[in-house]
């Protein structure tokens, strides 16, 4: 577990929403945008940042349209912790 990545995620409401949106199953950026009510520009930038940190990856990088993103193992562990934190604080 990398607590630096945890801190990075929880420092941004966009990163939290995007990573939690991907927790149940892989999605396109458009699906994430619709589900989280975050604009496509922010979703795309956030996904790009999460890919760089190796928390998210593209399942079908050969596609120009309709790319699908999923959590890496590290991303899934962190998303699970963040989801647990959210449920406890309710």
CATH number of the domain residue 33 falls in: 1.10.10.10
**Sign of the CA dihedral running 26, 29, 30, 33:** positive
Identify whether 18 is part of a domain: yes
Does the CA dihedral 34-48-52-49 come out positive or negative?
negative
Residue 53 has what DSSP assignment? T
| Distance, CA of 82 to CA of 61 (rounded, Å) | 27
Average pLDDT over all residues of the chain: 95
pLDDT (tens digit per residue) in 48-78: 999 999 999 999 999 999 999 999 999 999 9
Q: Answer whether 23's CB lies under 8 Å from 56's CB.
A: no
| pLDDT of res. 36 | 97
Examine residue 16 and state whether it is found in any structural domain, yes or no: yes
Closest residue by Cα to residue 15 from 84, 78, 89, 87: 78
Q: Which range marks the domain in which residue 44 is found?
A: 3-79
pTM of the model: 0.92
Domains in the chain, number: 1
């Amino acid at each position: 577990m990398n607590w630096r990545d945890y801190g990075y995620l929880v420092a941004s409401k966009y990163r939290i929403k995007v990573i939690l949106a991907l927790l149940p199953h892989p999605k396109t950026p458009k699906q994430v945008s619709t589900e989280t009510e975050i604009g496509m520009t922010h979703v795309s930038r956030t996904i790009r940042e999460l890919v760089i940190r190796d928390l998210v990856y593209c399942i079908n990088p050969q596609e120009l349209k309709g790319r699908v993103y999923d959590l890496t193992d590290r991303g899934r562990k962190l998303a699970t912790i963040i989801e647990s934190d959210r449920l406890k604080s309710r």
